[in-house]
Structure 1
Amino acid sequence: MRNRLHLFAGAALLAITSACSPGTSAPADPPGLPTLPPPLSAEGDFGTTLQTALIAARPGEIILLPEGTFQLTEGLSLDVEGVTLRGAGQGKTILDFSGQEGAGEGLLVTSDDVTLMDFAVINTRGDGIKSKGADRITYRYLTVEWTNGPDENNGAYGVYPVESRDVLVENVTVRGASDAGIYVGQSENIIVRNSVVEYNVAGIEIENSMNADVYGNIARYNTGGILVFDLPDLPVSGGHSTRIFDNQITENNTRNFAPAGNIVASVPSGTGVIIMANRNVHVFDNTFDQNRSAHVLVMSYSLPFTDEAYNPLPRDVVLRANRYGPGGNDPQGDLAPLAAALGGQLPAIVWDGVDGWGEGPAQAVNLSINEAEDAGFLSLGLGRYPIDPARMAPSPVRPEGTPPEEPAAVTLPHAPA
């Protein structure tokens, strides 16, 4: 387990080398764009100046933030369509909420066609930037960070779009979220790309959502790298059709610092990708390395639920053409005693082996493992929930799944491919 000094040293090193990573530097504007307006005044109470501008904005307006670090004590909100909120750069315009009063998010957006870009939000009491019911929203070249490192008192989510269609998150950096760095929930048509997530509990989480592409990201030093979940008793459920590809998912060994009771509090430290109770998930062309519990964990939802429409099992999952380095050498959490019983180490891919719930019949999970033979696999053979340890039957034999048709690439009306 990395100590806090090592964590801070890693963050400092990233800052020095950030020019080599995605998500850190916006390119110059191409010619032909409209002239930007003058920036807001940096004099006086900047929080009041900015909130007043957000309230008074006209649809389609660009609000330009000045360069500097600005101390804000109140959260911000935007409910005007088509607004672009733009700073001078992630390292140049910094909204610092260290003295925030109340526990809300730093910025809440509740309108469509909004673009947020080129600024940083740090040390919010609650979530960093949240959007709700905001279709065609763009998060671009943003940083959200809690500068004290992993701490259960940090805000839950860094970038947090929910209940939306056509969501674009690109070239974003998030550090220190006590739940998920980039979280997209109960949404449809999603792209998360070219971003860096580190020192969060979950790096990237796609939850109860449909049609998501997650690619070109670096997920490192989190508790778990990338999560695809479907949970019961939410307004939108039945998550499906997610592609996770061309990501670097490495060294996700940070201790789990989520507050007790959060669903991610059960994520074992050292997990690369977790797929839970979701359907038609394709994981391919990723690089996994040094995730100490397991590189990929496929599992069912294990808690009691009353949602009659909910299916707690993962279905139609494809793993193919991924690159697996060392890992699984120090399993954590609920995986630790299982690993101890099996010799102390877990292979790259672990499936809980659950294909039924309660008294219901067994279902076809359809797990397709199209990986090189040296990528180890283990079914824990748990059979069904509630678990009966006497029925546990571990097996290294890969299931004979039939790959479902891969979802089409996600296209968004407001973003080039």
Structure 2
Amino acid sequence: MIRSLLVATALCLSAPTLAKTVSVAPGEDAQERLQEALILAEPGDVIELGAGRFDLVDGLSLDVDNVTVRGAGMDQTVLNFAGQLGAGEGLLVTSDHVVLRDFAIEDSKGDGIKSKGADNIVYYRLRVEWTRGPHPENGAYAIYPVESSNVLVDSVTTIGSSDAGIYVGQSENIIVRNSVAKFNVAGIEIENSIGADVYNNVAVNNTGGILVFDLPNIPKQGGRNVRVFDNIVVDNNTPNFAPEGNIVAEVPAGMGVMVMSHYEVEVFENRFAENGTGNILIVSYTKGQDDPNYNPKPIGVRVFENDHGRAGYNPAFPGGAQLKAAFGGAIPPIIEDGTGENLQIGDDVAILSMGLTTPGQSLAEAKPSLVAGASEPFDGRQLTPITLPQAMEDAIR
């Protein structure tokens, strides 16, 4: 009998814990109750956030694998950090196989939601907003996955970031889709990453709509294989409000898509209009740098089958006003600085080449000239579409 009880006890102790749903409602002690739920979560658990407003005074963190944090909707469940005492993120995730969905983060002192080293992470139907609108003291990033493999950002809304609304950096195998980025410095930014599809998004009223950058002195370099397609990129003319010293502080207002120092980028079937500087800008990294492994040039950028509305009527870069006058009131919608290699531009619009020859060369040495667009359209699709593990897609069905 004793032996049977010991065996039964051992089996119970070794059996996996059943996944459970833990409900957390707004109200008194919400900070402690919510953080406790995140700390005590076990793999497979769902943390269910009730409808209403959670007034929080400190950032939250999750470091347990295979957890879903789910609210009642991006306008129904609001995590409000206006009273946050520290300067950190609203929510920090450092575990794998996490799904974040159907809630909002407002007015965090630092980034809205940051995930670091979190593979197979899903951001779905989220809103991250700084409610005072564009301001240099807003958090830098709204959605901020970094150093990850397999990232899905789907149906999110970001407003007011002082750097990028949706930023994915130093990561691989990325999809950003069906999302809205507005009144950020950069609407969507893919940085130092390998393999990204950015599509069916709306970037409006940002300083720059969509950025694809590769920067020096960062552990992961050689950003490549990014497709930007089927997006609406319009009216991105918000004055740049990034804090001084940030790399995006140099993005000119009025920029649609900007590709800097990147390998193999395809920009196609997007709709552009009312971007005062230009619809597409392709440039080298211009600052001095001493990274021996860094390539400052854009290489293998292909632009084709885009719909170009009005652009270039208010260029916000040095010498832009003079160029505007020289071109009769507006510069061409596509601008390249002259330093790129293997560029292919198939859109039937005029192209402004700045005539530079070396990355970092001063614009004072530019020799701008007008280049005719392709007379015959072409299909520049050479990159393989991104696919994510089926479990990630299933998580949002």
Contact 2:312 2:324 in 1 (8 A): no
* 1:391/1:153 CA distance change after superposition, 3 Å: closer
- Aligned partner of 1:378 in structure 2 is 352
Q: Give the % identical residues.
A: 51
**Matches of 1:197 and 1:232, distance apart in 2:** 26
Q: 1:204 Cα shift? A: 0.1
Q: Deviations over 1:202-249 (max 9, x none)?
A: 000000000000000000000000000000000101100000000000
Q: 1:406 Cα shift? A: 1.7
- Aligned partner of 2:182 in structure 1 is 198
- Aligned partner of 2:313 in structure 1 is 329
TM-score normalised per structure 1: 0.86
Query: Would you say 1:349 and 2:334 are equivalent positions?
Result: yes
Structure possessing the higher radius of gyration over alpha carbons: 2
- Aligned partner of 1:280 in structure 2 is 264
Match of 1:131 among 103, 115, 120: 115
**Matches of 1:118 and 1:347, distance apart in 2:** 41
Matched AA of 2:320:
A
Q: Please, what is the CA RMSD of the aligned residues?
A: 2.0
Gaps of 5+ in 2: 1-17
Q: 1:339 Cα shift? A: 2.4
Q: Deviations over 1:311-369 (max 9, x none)?
A: 000000000000001111011133625625634521110001125xxxxxxxxx01101
Aligned residues: 372
- Aligned partner of 1:319 in structure 2 is 303
Q: Deviations over 1:140-165 (max 9, x none)?
A: 00000000000000000000000000
Contact 1:367 1:399 in 2 (8 A): no
- Aligned partner of 1:19 in structure 2 is none
**Matches of 2:332 and 2:161, distance apart in 1:** 28
**Matches of 2:362 and 2:97, distance apart in 1:** 50
**Matches of 2:199 and 2:363, distance apart in 1:** 38
TM-score normalised per structure 2: 0.90
**Matches of 1:268 and 1:169, distance apart in 2:** 26
**Matches of 1:302 and 1:318, distance apart in 2:** 21
* 1:71/1:145 CA distance change after superposition, 3 Å: same
* 1:126/1:335 CA distance change after superposition, 3 Å: farther
Matched AA of 1:159:
I
Contact 1:268 1:334 in 2 (8 A): no
Contact 1:36 1:64 in 2 (8 A): no
Query: Would you say 1:411 and 2:387 are equivalent positions?
Result: yes
Q: 1:389 Cα shift? A: 5.8
Contact 1:369 1:398 in 2 (8 A): no
Q: Deviations over 1:68-109 (max 9, x none)?
A: 011100000000000000001111100000010111000000
Contact 1:383 1:391 in 2 (8 A): no
Contact 2:214 2:261 in 1 (8 A): yes
Match of 1:122 among 85, 88, 106: 106
Match of 1:298 among 282, 285, 308: 282
Match of 2:240 among 252, 256, 270: 256
**Matches of 1:156 and 1:258, distance apart in 2:** 8
Runs of 4+ in 1 over 4 A off after TM superposition: 388-391, 402-405
- Tell me, what secondary structure is at the counterpart of 1:354? coil
Contact 2:304 2:379 in 1 (8 A): no
Q: Which moved more, 1:36-45 or 1:199-208?
A: 36-45
**Matches of 1:119 and 1:188, distance apart in 2:** 26
Matched AA of 2:292:
E
* 1:35/1:150 CA distance change after superposition, 3 Å: same
* 1:237/1:260 CA distance change after superposition, 3 Å: same
- Aligned partner of 1:270 in structure 2 is 254
Q: 1:387 Cα shift? A: 2.3
**Matches of 1:334 and 1:104, distance apart in 2:** 36
Matched AA of 2:297:
L
- Aligned partner of 2:203 in structure 1 is 219
